[in-house]
Each structure stands twice: as C-alpha cells, then as structure tokens.
Amino acid sequence: MGVYSREEIEAIYRRNFKLVYQICLVLMKNVPDAEDAAQTVFGRVMERGKPFRDPEHEKAWLIVTARNQCRDQLKHWWRRCREDASALDALAWEEPSDGLVWDQVAALPDKHRLVLFLHYYEGYATDEIAQMLGDNPSTVRSRLVQARKKLKLRLEAEGYGTT
Amino acid sequence: MEQHELNRMFDALAPTQEQEQAVLDRLLRTEREVIPMKKLKKLTVIGIAAALMVISCAAAVVTGIDQRILEYFGSGQEQAELLVSCALPVDITTEDNGAVFHVSQVLMDRYSLTLLADFTAPEGTVLDETKENLRFDMYAHQINQSGKRFTPYAGWSNLQTLLDDGDPLDNHLTVLYQMLPDLGFQPDDGLKSIELIVKHLALRHYEDDGRHNDPVFLGDWSCQIPFTWQDMGLSVSPNQVVGQLGGEDVVLTEVYLSPMSLNIRLKHSHDSDLEQVFDCDNVVLTSGDGETVPITIVDRSSWYDRFYHLNKIIDPSQLQGGTLTLTIGGEIVDIPLDGLVPVE
C-alpha cells in the first residue's frame, strides 16, 4: 500500500490525467490501450512508497512512467493484433486537416512523437526533456529535428497546406 | 505547418470528462474488478465448472503441408515441399465444453512459429467468423527442459487470424496463429515444448468505458506442442558497415533466410535510434537469378531486428548470389548474399 490516501490519489489524478492520457494516446495510437496504460500509471502512483517532492517532480515522474508503461505494453503480445488502426477515427477534429496531421504524426517513430508532444505542446525545452527521459540532450535535439523534417515531408507529400 | 496547427491536433487528443471519470472509477475499484479479462474468467468458472476436459496428443509424421497454410503464404503445392523442412510433426486434439480444438500443423523457423488449428463447437452452434475482432484468448509460452516457462530477454508477438472456411456461419472455425519472438528461438535456450494457451472464444469490442470481451464460447483448449524442430534456415554475417548514425557506424551483423522469412539484424551502440536512419519499408530482396522476392514487414518492435514475411515460399538457397538492398540514411546499400550457410 502506498503513502497516498484515496483523496490524495484522486487529486493527483485530476491534476495530471489529461497529460498522462495524451502521452499514452500519442504513443499507443488507440483509445482503449491509452486508457489502459494511463490507468496503470496511476495505479503505480497508488503503490508509491514515498511522496513526490513537488508538483514538477510529480509531473516528470508521471511522464516517464507513462512512457515506460507504453513501451512495456507495446512489447506485449496483443500489440500486433492491430485491430485498432482506425480507433482515432472517432475523434472530433476541430479542423478536418487535423486528422491528416495526426495520421502523419502517428506514422513517425514513437520517440519522435513523444518529443514533438513534450516540446511543442507541453513547452518543455529539449534539455529538460533529455534530463527527464534520461537521454543525451543532443539526441533529443536530433530527434526533434528528424521529427520536424519527416513530418514536413510527409505532409507535403499529402498535399497539406497547398490549397 | 504552423505550431498552433500541431497543437490544435494534440488538443483533440485530450480525454473527455466522461473518459476521465470512467478511468478514475476503474482505478479506484479493486483490481479484480477493473481488468476486463478477470470478468471473463469469473464467467468461465460458472460456465465450465462441470466441463470435462480431455486432451489427447499423438505423434505424427509430416507428410504434407495443409492447403490453407499454402494459401496463406500465397503459394501452391509446388512450393509445399520447401515447407516440409519447417514442419513439426503434430496432431493434437483437446476437448472442453463439448468443443474440439485440433492442431494439425505447425511450421517453424528461427523467427516465427505458425500454427493451424480447427475449432469445432457442438452441432447447432453458430460461430460467426465474419465478425471482426472475434478471437480466442490465445498465446504461447516457451517451455524449457525443466518444464518451466522460459521468458526470453526480448519480447515476442502473437498474431491470430481466422481463415475463411467456406461457411462463415457454421459451428467451425479455422484459426492461424503465429508467435514471433523478437530475437528468435535460440538453440541454446534448451526448449522442450511450446505451451499453447487457448481459452474462450470472445468478441472484443470497445465502449466508452474501455475494452470488453464478450464471451461467445467458453472453455480451455490449452495444449503442449513438443519442440522437435531443427532450424533449416540459411544465414550470413556480413558485419558490414552500412551507414552512420550520430558519428558511429551502423553495422549489418546478420541476414537470416528461411522458405518463409527474412530477418535483418543491425548493430549500433544506440540500437533504439536505428529507426532514425533505417528505412525498413525500403528493403529489396533479389534472388541469385535476378528475380525480386516480394516481402512484407511484420514486426517493427525489436530494436535490433527487422522481420519480414516472404510473400511467396522460396528455397533460400536460390538467394545465394543474390542481393539484399537496404536504405540507410537515405543512401542505398547493396549487400551481396554470397556466403549463405545453414545456421546449424
């Protein structure tokens, strides 16, 4: 049993579920698996033997745990069943072109998708991402460059922004 | 594309309030209640408590390859002989809850196990194989000489496909199952058998509150498949520098070929970054007489290996003198397949 009460768990969950779920969805690329992964991440919070130092520590721990959980799930047997390839069709895109952007982001390697999300959407600097994920800062910068380049090429190939 | 367009797309990935609440509710329930498969197991206990399970296994001699497997691999009888060397002699029948599960064929190479089985429920049962996501709870374990489950360092994948048997609404299903260990079956692992777990035919579907498995037919048709296989594949270890990543060499360490499969192993100090430079969709396999052998990538999860199905059965010795063409960092690299040798 962990150090947090049920109320504290719920508070941590409310503060961070959106972030954790989005990371899981970016990595797992389908809604049911993202929900499973996010649930497992907060299950780990329930098992924690010591409290987080501060909100930043809490957030960083959740990001890394979400990444690790998705990595584990992606190695499991049912990952290749792949029946969820179109599971995001049900999402309500604000603009129809957002679906096209997602398709091209989803086609990138998972490490590229994660740094795109953390850098552009969550606003983390590459050095911060590197520290958090235990990677070399130059590796993270390189992934970001590669991700941008690949995304640009893929979107151009799809005719994005040409009309 | 502008950053705000990217972020608008990420915005759309945010969970709904209903999703957030549903996951929290599941989280705060007891673990027994939250895992969908547990619900299924509970039903199973009720449903098959009095069921009789009979397992009978008999050794068999491999005399031919099932037409259905040949069709799956896009080949005809003329290629069947090539697959005989990959076949394990199996004829295993398990029975539970009035239904029979019969494993009639198993093919193996170093990187894949392919199994064909027929499932027959009691007369009058309708198993609608046209339903998407109709699947058995089915997976496999490697068993070592001590009879214990062996967990390799790397992961593995399972694929399950229901084959069209001509009558989609009868009491019969044909299932093709594949186990794909990321680093392959290793001779040094001392494997004794494959434990095939087969439980419950269920319809998997997704609702707002998560994934569900609705039981269609309950039972346990698990069985053991003796591991009597010899690797008949060919391999070559070029140890050739094929590109650069982060200032370091990317080295092609092994090419493995069987009548069914191609596996490529690359090495770099940061294996997980290889995907940055290796275009795994642009791999071309050419036989010794210049014919292109069509391939389909199967498994991208391994950091070390890239695994492909050959889209037609071929004698791997025909690839002697052929070429493997890779695209690394945008550069095309031809690897001569001159030194293919039997792996064992």
The answer to whether A109 contacts B275, with C-beta atoms less than 8 Å apart, is: yes
In percent, how much of chain A has pLDDT > 90?
28
Taking the C-alpha atoms of residue A31 and residue B150, their distance in angstroms, rounded to an integer, is 32
Minimum CA–CA partner of A159 in chain B? B1
ipTM for this model: 0.90
- pLDDT reported for residue B299: 57
Taking the C-alpha atoms of residue B158 and residue B199, their distance in angstroms, rounded to an integer, is 15
DSSP line for B200-224: EEEEEEEETTEEEEEEEEEEE--EE
Inform me whether the C-beta atom of residue B30 falls under 8 Å from chain A C-beta atoms.
no
Taking the C-alpha atoms of residue B342 and residue B110, their distance in angstroms, rounded to an integer, is 12
Of B5, B24, B204, the CB nearest to A13: B24
Closest to B280 (Cα-Cα) out of B257, B296, B292:
B296
The answer to whether B5 contacts A101, with C-beta atoms less than 8 Å apart, is: yes
Q: Is the dihedral of CA B293, B297, B299, B301 positive or negative?
A: positive
pTM of this structure: 0.56
Q: Mean pLDDT over all residues of chain A?
A: 83
Inform me whether the C-beta atom of residue B153 falls under 8 Å from chain A C-beta atoms.
no
Q: Which of A6, A7, A17, A74 to substitute to test the interface with B, most B CBs within 10 Å?
A: A17
- B116-144, pLDDT tens digit by residue? 999 999 998 988 877 777 888 888 888 88
Query: What phi and psi, each to the nearest 5 degrees, are found at residue B34?
Result: -85, -20
Q: Collect all residues with Cβ–Cβ distance below 8 Å to B99 and sequence separation of at least 6.
A: B119, B120, B121, B122, B125, B217, B219, B221
Please say if the pLDDT value at position A83 is more than 50.
no
Closest to B107 (Cα-Cα) out of B264, B223, B231:
B231
Residue B257's pLDDT band (cuts 50, 70, 90): very high
Among A45-54, B16-25, B51-60, B77-86, the range with the most confident prediction by mean pLDDT is: B16-25
Strands B112-120 and B172-181: antiparallel
Burial string for A52-80 (b: 16+ CB within 10 Å, else e) reads beeeeebbbbbbebbbebbeebbeebbbb
